[in-house]
C-alpha cells in the first residue's frame, strides 16, 4: 500500500502509545456521546460533526444492542 509523504511523516511523528490512547478515548467518547468521533492530526478526539480538518481516523458509534 502506498502512503503519501506528508501522511507518512505524520504517522512516524507520534508514539504508538499516544495513538493507542487516542483510539481508546475515541471509543469511550463515542459511547458517551452516542455519535461518531474523529481523531485529528494532533491526536485530539472530537465529534465528527465538529471536526474542521481531515481526520486521521473516524470512530463510528455502533449503538447498543437491545436484547429485550
The pTM of the full predicted model, rounded to 2 decimals, is: 0.72
Examine residue 10 and state whether it is found in any structural domain, yes or no: yes
**Mean pLDDT, consecutive 10-residue segments, the chain of 68 residues?**
47 76 93 95 94 93 67
pLDDT digits (tens, 9 = 90+) for 8-21: 555 567 777 888 88
Would you say residue 23 lies in a domain?
A: yes
User: Domain limits at 51?
Assistant: 5-59
Residue among 30, 39, 36 nearest 57 (CA): 39
- The answer to whether residue 35 sits within a structural domain is yes
Please check whether residue 67 lies inside any domain of the structure: no
Is residue 64 domain-resident?
Answer: no
How many domains does the chain fold into? 1
Phi and psi, residue 18, nearest 5°: -65, -40
Amino acid at each position: 500500500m502506498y502512503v503519501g509523504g506528508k501522511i507518512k511523516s505524520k504517522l512516524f511523528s507520534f508514539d504508538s502509545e499516544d495513538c493507542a490512547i487516542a483510539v481508546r478515548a475515541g471509543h469511550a467518547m463515542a459511547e458517551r456521546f452516542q455519535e461518531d468521533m474523529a481523531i485529528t492530526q494532533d491526536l485530539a478526539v472530537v465529534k465528527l460533526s465538529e471536526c474542521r480538518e481531515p481526520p486521521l481516523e473516524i470512530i463510528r458509534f455502533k449503538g447498543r444492542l437491545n436484547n429485550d
